Amino acid sequence: MRILLLGGTTEASQMATCFAANDMDVVFSYAGRTTAPIAQPLPTRIGGFGGVDGLATYLKSQKITHVVDATHPFAAGMSRNAHAACTNAAVPLIRLERPAWQVGIGDNWTLLPDIEAIPRALPDAPSRIFLAIGKQQIGLFATQPQHHYLLRLVDQPAAALPLTDTKVVVARGPFDVAGDAALMRDHQITHVVAKNSGGQGAQAKLEAARMLGLPVLMAQRPVLPGDSIASTADEVMGWLGHEADRGV
Ligand code: 3Y8
Ligand code: NAP
């Protein structure tokens, strides 16, 4: 059994620790989105595969027998490519995915179908927006230049940002409620923008928003293919054991 673990999330790091503890033959894969990703206890590759065909070629050349997709719920491109490549190559695939956040008492959420729908859901009047969605999609908000944007990014931006009135905070999660509440108060935030990532790493801003009585514009997750889904590392280990029993 030789496993490709598609990473980039807390769950992927937990899965990596489990695989390493069991001395399993695994390659960990990062997209290469950040300058200094967290080191993993497994042999690690960094960078794209070159689409579905590139991934299929990788599976064959590396003699991968199973793929665990532990990428982020919003990493739809990778998950869709993994499903297509594994289907073509008849390599078993499972997705390790954390449950979505559910709105709770005291939350003031507006649910949007995706990130693209959020800019036009913002108020017309100039406001102070906490954009905690990374850097890849902040350009969408250029259509709403009247606002001040607080951007939390993993790395200092290398190029000019597509927004004018911004304040950048460079920080890597997981975050805590007290820190996020202080950040929002210090920057007099009026609205929080988030994607329904689930998990603990990005949840603090939602609890801080509830504490401060701030509205949250929440993007729903993309729909992903595949019917083998696990929510814990143990479930993945069980699936692999079952696969091994099947002689796969
Ligand atoms: C490169 C690997 C681990 C994984 C830690 C998790 C938790 C901390 C919270 C906020 C939200 C956001 C963002 C976030 C969190 C964890 C997890 C998570 C959100 C690293 C990492 C990589 C990335 C990529 C990065 C994205 C961006 C998203 C920032 C490493 C640190 C906003 C998602 O600047 C960029 O281009 C950043 C891009 C994709 C979302 C986006 O669309 O911009 N993650 N994040 C992975 C790779 O190269 O394959 O550098 O160590 C991983 C983590 N980020 O092992 O403990 O599991 O979610 N990551 C979101 O959830 O909204 C921050 O600020 O409140
Ligand atoms: P994406 O849009 O779904 O993927 C775009 C392309 O990036 C993929 O087609 C693939 O390139 C490459 N890629 C993505 N994940 C990869 C991986 N683990 N290993 C190798 N190549 C990968 O991905 P994304 O949303 O930019 O996320 C990139 C990474 O950040 C993922 O590992 C994800 O888990 C992590 N992350 C994302 C978010 C988020 O909000 N999107 C949050 C936290 C962490 P090729 O087509 O060339 O193969």
DSSP-based three-state secondary structure for 189: coil
The pLDDT of residue 208: 98
The count of structural domains within the chain is 2
Neighbours of 162 (CB within 10 A): 13
Residues 34 and 132 in one domain: no
Examine the pLDDT at 29 and tell me if it is beyond 70: yes
The pLDDT of residue 65: 98
Q: Dihedrals φ, ψ of 71, to 5°?
A: -75, 175
Q: How far is the CA of 35 from the centre of ligand 2 (A)?
A: 14
Work out the average pLDDT over 10-15: 97
247 lies in some domain: no
CATH number of the domain residue 50 falls in: 3.40.50.720
**Band of pLDDT at residue 242, cut at 50, 70 and 90:** confident
The pLDDT of residue 169: 97
Work out the average pLDDT over 162-182: 96
Examine the pLDDT at 198 and tell me if it is beyond 70: yes
73-93 residue pLDDT tens: 999 999 999 999 999 999 999
What DSSP element (H or E) covers 44?
Answer: strand 44-46
Tokens 């290469």 — which residue? 32
- Ligand 1 pocket (Cβ < 6 Å) reads 8-10, 13, 30-34, 37-38, 72, 132-137, 152-155, 172-175, 195, 197, 199, 201-202, 205
What DSSP element (H or E) covers 26?
Answer: strand 26-30
The pLDDT of residue 155: 95
83 is in which domain, residue-wise?
A: 3-99+223-240
- For ligand 2, atom 12, the nearest C-alpha belongs to 48
The pLDDT of residue 248: 66
What DSSP element (H or E) covers 40?
Answer: none
| Average pLDDT for the chain | 96
73 lies in some domain: yes
110-137 residue pLDDT tens: 999 999 999 999 999 999 999 999 999 9
CB 42 within 8 A of CB 27: yes
- The span from the CA of 90 to the CA of 36, in Å, is 34
The pLDDT of residue 20: 97
The pLDDT of residue 247: 67
Work out the average pLDDT over 138-163: 96
- CB distance 77 to ligand 2 below 6 Å: yes
- The span from the CA of 220 to the CA of 204, in Å, is 18
Q: Dihedrals φ, ψ of 121, to 5°?
A: -90, -5
Residues 212 and 114 in one domain: yes
